[in-house]
Amino acid sequence: MKKIQHTFLLVLLFLSFNGISAQNTEIYREEFELVESVPVETDLEQSSLPRTLDVWLKMMNNAKESIDIETFYFADEKGQPLEEIITAIKNAASRGVQVRIIVDSSFYFNNKEKSIDALEGIQNISIKKIPIGNLAGGVMHAKYFIVDNENLFLGSQNMDWRALIHIHEIGVRVKNKELARTFSEVFETDWKLCDGNNYGLINQAVNYFVNSDNPVIINSNDFGKIILYPAFSPSNINMNGLSSEEEELLKIINNTKDSLSIQMYSYSPKAKNEKNYYDDIDKALRNAASRGVKIKIIFSDWSIKDPATEFIKNLSIVENIEIKFSTIPQYSGGYIPYSRVDHCKYFISDNNISWISTSNWEWGYFHNSRNATLIIENSKVNSELSKVFLRSWDGPYSNAVDINKNYEPVKRN
């Protein structure tokens, strides 16, 4: 008994000398969760994945030091759920949390939507508008935020009330300091780029990035060992050492052996207003199919537009490729502009690689616009995403592409 007491006293002394209270010890736990937004009044509500609103609120409400948000735009409406997020951001600032927000300048100045103004002029909140159009020709299309330099959210969800309850979205939350550090470096660079075309920032020396050669390993209670790393676009404003979305995307498709399940908002080798014909992804998919890879793709009905529809029809007749269009039914409360759509941007390779992104599959998203992706290696994550995919694939809202049908663009606004 005396020996046990002696050992216990030694442990207390060790903790004391290392500045740790034996009563207040806290073990740092890395965390990972898939996050989904589902349109209300649809079968997609059957999903058991955490919902975006709940995850965002928890992250904001638990913030102690900082919240850094980089997103396309803010769109709120009175009585709708983004009000709760905006209130949570204000409350965090009132606690002394330093909040920084980057939104796209062209969207802000060329649209009537000014919801971000609700956060202007509040102590501890700083807002900048990044001129990606001047820097790279596109828009700030990334959608991520970092809390306390350790807790990251990334996904297809814009800071838009409709993205919380009227649009199908997929995202991911990861608590890992190394991964957050890489996103923080990107945020810091973009924060400075808001003030002008200082391309010297892009080539600045960074000692450490999580990338394809240097992934992080997370031990999750729910998923076990997870290997993951981020990739970014566009390459001309990527700092040295960041993995390229386009390169990683093509590498994964080219290395797929058995199956690809893809759910994507839009796809086209050539956008209507683009001069470039971009068939790198199209070729990679066709080559995979020729190797015997079974490919299933869901495109939203918003991808029905000239000239994308003909490209999709042509791809759908390739052996081993099946394609469906998804159409989310309208809300019973009346038509809501820019909503009721599949906005997901993810795919699943074989039984162990998952891709969750902010990029659509068109040239401009990889070469003109800021976007971000997480590449995840874990069979359980893959399995959970497969459930999401199959719920849409087998559900009532997806129908096979008919090459003989004259598709008309759907109403958006």
**Contact predicate 253/341, CB 8 Å:** no
Q: For residue 106, what is the domain's CATH number?
A: 3.30.870.10
**Res 28: pLDDT:** 73
User: What's the whole-number average pLDDT of the chain?
Assistant: 92
Task: Classify residue 1: in a domain, yes or no.
Answer: no
Sign of the alpha-carbon dihedral angle for 83, 85, 87, 90: negative
Total domains, the chain: 1
Q: Say if 2 falls within a structural domain.
A: no
Dump pLDDT digits (tens) for 3-35. 444 444 443 333 343 444 334 445 678 999 999
> At which residue do the structure tokens 């039914």 appear?
329
pLDDT of 409 > 60? The answer is yes
**Residue 338 pLDDT more than 50?**
yes
Q: Is 362 left (phi over 0), alpha (psi -120 to 50) or beta?
A: beta
Q: Which domain holds residue 178?
A: 10-18+21-400
Element (H, E) at 344: none
In this prediction the pTM is 0.92
Task: Please state the rounded mean pLDDT for residues 38-57.
Answer: 98
d(CA 122, CA 88): 13
Q: Give the pLDDT score at 189.
A: 92
Is 412 part of a structural domain of the chain? no
pLDDT beyond 60 at 394: yes
Asked if residue 366 belongs to a domain, the reply is: yes
Residue 7: partners with Cβ closer than 8 Å, 6 or more residues away? none
Q: How far is CA 231 from CA 247, 296, 372, in A?
A: 9, 24, 6
The per-residue pLDDT for 53 is: 98
- The 10s digit of each residue's pLDDT in 253-287 is 999 999 999 999 999 998 766 677 899 999 999 99
Give the three-state DSSP class for 235.
helix
Q: Is residue 15 within 8 Å of 21, Cβ to Cβ?
A: yes
> What mean pLDDT comes out for the span 165-179?
98
d(CA 190, CA 143): 13
Does 120 map to a domain? yes
The helix or strand, by DSSP H or E, that contains position 401, with its residue range, turns out to be: none
pLDDT in the model for residue 199: 64
- Which H/E stretch holds residue 189? helix 177-193
Question: Which parts of 368-404 fold into alpha helices (H)?
Answer: 379-393
Residue 206, pLDDT score: 74
**What are the tens digits of pLDDT across the range 182-217?**
999 999 999 999 997 666 777 776 778 999 999 999
Per the domain annotation, does 409 fall within a domain? no
Q: Average pLDDT, stretch 129-149? A: 96
Helix axes 280-290, 308-316, angle to 10 degrees: 10
Q: Give a yes or no: residue 202 inside a domain.
A: yes
